[in-house]
């Protein structure tokens, strides 16, 4: 059974929606970082699925590789900020992040 492009787009949109809802609703910064990663992975699903249906052009896979590299850099910077927030507040709640201004 061959899956069409619509199935991949539906899966990616559900994945993106879960990530967006998780980012908007949760106040824990670690959960928000994981939600951003989920949204970036849904974009990668779209890129690779588009590349599957246009196999002569590898732009989707190349661009997905760059998205993965950016996600890794985002995770490193995000975790560094999260550690700084935890050291100041002893909490990772984003409502207390305004204390980093000092």
Tell me what percent of the residues of the chain surpass a pLDDT of 70. 95
Average pLDDT over residues 75-97: 84
- The whole model's pTM is what? 0.83
- Look over the chain and give the mean of its residue pLDDT values, rounded to a whole number: 89
Q: Give dist(CA 27, CA 82) in Å, integer.
A: 13
What per-residue confidence (pLDDT) applies to 95? 76
Top-confidence residue, 94 or 32: 32
- Cα distances (Å, whole numbers) of residue 77 to 8, 33, 38, 58, 59: 30, 10, 17, 29, 27
Q: Is the pLDDT of residue 102 over 60?
A: no
Considering the domain 5-96, what is its CATH architecture? Answer: Orthogonal Bundle (1.10)
């Amino acid at each position: 059974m061959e899956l069409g492009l619509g199935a991949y787009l539906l899966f990616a949109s559900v994945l993106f929606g879960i990530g967006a809802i998780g980012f908007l609703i949760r106040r824990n910064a670690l959960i928000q970082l994981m939600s951003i990663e989920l949204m970036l992975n849904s974009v990668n699903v779209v890129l690779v699925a588009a590349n599957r249906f246009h196999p002569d052009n590898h732009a989707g896979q190349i661009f997905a590789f760059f998205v993965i590299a950016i996600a890794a850099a985002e995770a490193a910077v995000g975790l560094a900020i999260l550690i700084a927030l935890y050291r100041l507040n002893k909490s990772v709640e984003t409502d207390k992040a305004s204390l980093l201004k000092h």
